[in-house]
Amino acid sequence: MAGTALVLGGGGVTGIGWEIGMLAGLAEAGVNLCSADVVIGTSAGSLVGAQLTSGQLTLEELYERQLAGPSGGPSVGASAGAVGIAQGGGAPARMGAVSMARFAAIALRSRDAVTFGARMGRLALAARTGPENTQRAVIAGRLLSQEWPARRLMITAVDAYTGERSAFDGGSGVKLADAVAASCAVPGVWPPVTIGDRRWIDGGVHSCANADLAAGYGRVVVIAPMASGGGPVATPRAQAARLAADGAEVLVVTPDRAARAAFGRNVLDPSKRAAAARAGRVQAAAHASEAARVWAGGADR
């Protein structure tokens, strides 16, 4: 097994801030995960992955943008769930404990991830949300480039009709902005995204991180703002364990207590983004040594 994979999980606006803070902190410690052969992004991680692989800004520049206030100029990190998406009101969207409990209850009644995806798709299709074009425009405005990067980027989404997961990349024929918008389309919060004759919802419906897509790579780092699962939804650690059993060297990083406190109760609240980014950067020091060991390549075989 050879090659490196960086897996960026979902987790709302605070997840975006924390992931970028973590990446910046690891780079400061000498572990630059931007060199990954493949970047796999889900929901919040899809936006981070698109920004990271665009080559337009450095990690430090991306981090500095996370520290801007919710209304303090262009904030690249505040996509799905934040700036511009409150339909004319300015209040942040919500995805707190009640929403998560509702999703968990549906998961526990589903026999597998595809069944769960289909049920979440029906919820999303029936929900009253803002216009699809508005959401897509916001996502497009947060991207640093509208073109797929030269390096491989995979972005996950779930078919709202069938519940099946797909991973879009530069060879899929799907526009980058459409893929990211689909991956960030939280059921009941934002509308499903139309691509061709299908409609798509958040890739996190299938898995918070979709780390199983890193199968075949020898070195894998999973940065997962949400470590949870339930019923048929596999946790990042469970997926990582399967990768390790197949011979990969894997590191999973999830938020520590301080980071979870920084997130607050609503992961879509842009006012918490800066605190989440700072928490990620501080936490990175605790993982730098192990990340360096994994990324160094002793496991390639």
Catalytic residues: 43, 202
Q: What is the C-alpha separation between 265 and 133, in angstroms, rounded? A: 28
Q: How far is CA 256 from the centre of its chain?
A: 18
Amino acid 243 reads L
Q: What is the C-alpha separation between 299 and 245, in angstroms, rounded? A: 12
Q: What is the C-alpha separation between 208 and 212, in angstroms, rounded? A: 11
Q: What is the C-alpha separation between 250 and 240, in angstroms, rounded? A: 6
Q: What is the C-alpha separation between 213 and 146, in angstroms, rounded? A: 24
Q: What is the C-alpha separation between 6 and 46, in angstroms, rounded? A: 12
Region of 88 (left: φ > 0; alpha: ψ -120 to 50; beta: rest) is left
Q: What is the C-alpha separation between 186 and 211, in angstroms, rounded? A: 19
CB-CB contact of 190 with 94 (8 Å): no
| Dihedral, 215, 221, 225, 231 alpha carbons, nearest 10 | 30
CB-CB contact of 252 with 22 (8 Å): no
CB-CB contact of 228 with 207 (8 Å): no
CB-CB contact of 246 with 36 (8 Å): no
